[in-house]
Structure 1
Amino acid sequence: MKFKKIALVGLAAILGAGALGWQSLDKETRGFLAAFPTNTDLLFWSTSQRDAAFRALDRLPFLAKHRVVPAGDKPSALPPGAPLALPLDVDAYMQGQRSAALMVLHNGQVRLERYGLDFDSEGRWTSFSVAKSLTSTLVGMAVRDGHIKSMDDKVSDYIAEMKGSAYDDVSIRQLLTMTSGVAWNENYDDPKSDVAQFNNHKPKDGEDAVVSYLRKLPRAVPAGTRWLYSTGETNLVGVLVARATQKTLSDYLSEKIWRPAGMEQQATWILSKSGQEISGCCLQAATRDFARFGQFILNGAQINGQPTLPEGWLPEATTSRTGIGQPGRGYGYQWWTYDDGSFAARGIFGQGIFIDPARKLVIASNANWGNNATDPTATAAREAFYVAVQQAVDAEVAEAAAKR
Structure 2
Amino acid sequence: MSKLPRLAATLSVTTACACLGFASWAQDAADPARWLSPTMINARASMFTPTLNYLTFQHMDQMFATRTVPAGSETWELSENPISLEGSYTILGETYDLEGALEQTRTNALVVLKDGELVYERYRNGSGPTTRFLTFSVAKSYTSTLIGLALQDGLIENLDDPVTKYLPEMEGTGYDGPSVRDLLRMRSGVDWEERYEFGSDTQLTKVHDNALVAYNYRWCDYAANESVKGATAPDERFNYATLDTSVLGCIVERVTGRTGAEYMAEKLWQPMGAESDAYWIMDGPDDIGREFYGAGLAVTARDHARFGQMFLQGGMANGTRVLPEAWVTEATVPDAGYSPIEEGSPLGYQYQWWTEADSDVYMAMGLFHQFIRVDPSNKIVIVKTSYTEAPIGNDVENAELFAQITAKLTQ
Which TM-score bucket, shorter chain as reference?
0.7 to 0.9
Structure-to-structure mapping, 1:5-404, within 5 angstroms: 20-21=33-34, 38=42, 40-42=44-46, 45-60=48-63, 64-85=64-85, 88=89, 89-189=97-197, 191-201=200-210, 209-215=218-224, 216-273=227-284, 274-303=288-317, 305=319, 307-310=321-324, 312-321=326-335, 322=338, 323-325=340-342, 326-338=344-356, 339-370=358-389, 372-374=390-392, 376-377=393-394, 379-395=395-411
Conserved 8 A contact 2:332-2:353: yes
Q: 1:235 to 1:255 in 2, by over 3 A?
A: same
The Cα of 1:311 is off from its aligned counterpart by 5.3
In structure 1, C-alpha distance between the alignment counterparts of 2:118 and 2:319, rounded to whole Å: 22
In structure 2, C-alpha distance between the alignment counterparts of 1:227 and 1:327, rounded to whole Å: 12
Say which SS state the counterpart of residue 217 (structure 1) adopts: coil
Conserved 8 A contact 1:179-1:226: yes
What is residue 19 of structure 2 aligned with on the other side? none
In structure 2, C-alpha distance between the alignment counterparts of 1:337 and 1:48, rounded to whole Å: 31
1:356 counterpart letter in structure 2: D
Conserved 8 A contact 2:76-2:317: no
The Cα of 1:38 is off from its aligned counterpart by 4.2
Identity over aligned pairs, percent? 33
In structure 1, C-alpha distance between the alignment counterparts of 2:54 and 2:102, rounded to whole Å: 14
In structure 1, C-alpha distance between the alignment counterparts of 2:45 and 2:373, rounded to whole Å: 28
Q: 1:56 to 1:233 in 2, by over 3 A?
A: same
Aligned residues: 362
Conserved 8 A contact 2:268-2:322: no
The Cα of 1:98 is off from its aligned counterpart by 1.5
Q: 1:87 to 1:269 in 2, by over 3 A?
A: same
Q: Deviations over 1:1-44 (max 9, x none)?
A: xxxxxxxxx9xx89x979945999xxxxxxxxx9xx9454257x
1:225 counterpart letter in structure 2: E
The Cα of 1:208 is off from its aligned counterpart by 6.9
Q: 1:114 to 1:279 in 2, by over 3 A?
A: same
TM-align CA RMSD? 2.8
The Cα of 1:210 is off from its aligned counterpart by 2.3
Q: Deviations over 1:263-314 (max 9, x none)?
A: 1111111111242111011111111111111111111112565544345221
Say which SS state the counterpart of residue 102 (structure 1) adopts: strand
In structure 2, C-alpha distance between the alignment counterparts of 1:192 and 1:363, rounded to whole Å: 36
In structure 2, C-alpha distance between the alignment counterparts of 1:382 and 1:248, rounded to whole Å: 35
The Cα of 1:392 is off from its aligned counterpart by 2.2
The Cα of 1:247 is off from its aligned counterpart by 1.3
Give unpaired runs (5+ residues) of structure 1: 1-9, 25-33, 396-404
Conserved 8 A contact 1:144-1:308: no
In structure 1, C-alpha distance between the alignment counterparts of 2:207 and 2:334, rounded to whole Å: 28
In structure 2, C-alpha distance between the alignment counterparts of 1:102 and 1:394, rounded to whole Å: 18
In structure 2, C-alpha distance between the alignment counterparts of 1:23 and 1:156, rounded to whole Å: 33
1:47 counterpart letter in structure 2: P
In structure 1, C-alpha distance between the alignment counterparts of 2:111 and 2:231, rounded to whole Å: 41
Say which SS state the counterpart of residue 138 (structure 1) adopts: helix
Conserved 8 A contact 2:314-2:324: no
Conserved 8 A contact 1:98-1:117: no
Conserved 8 A contact 1:269-1:278: yes
The Cα of 1:200 is off from its aligned counterpart by 4.1
Q: 1:348 to 1:79 in 2, by over 3 A?
A: same
1:197 counterpart letter in structure 2: K
Conserved 8 A contact 2:76-2:318: no
Conserved 8 A contact 1:198-1:232: no
Which moved further from structure 2: 72-81 or 142-151? 72-81
What is residue 7 of structure 1 aligned with on the other side? none
Give unpaired runs (5+ residues) of structure 2: 14-31, 90-96
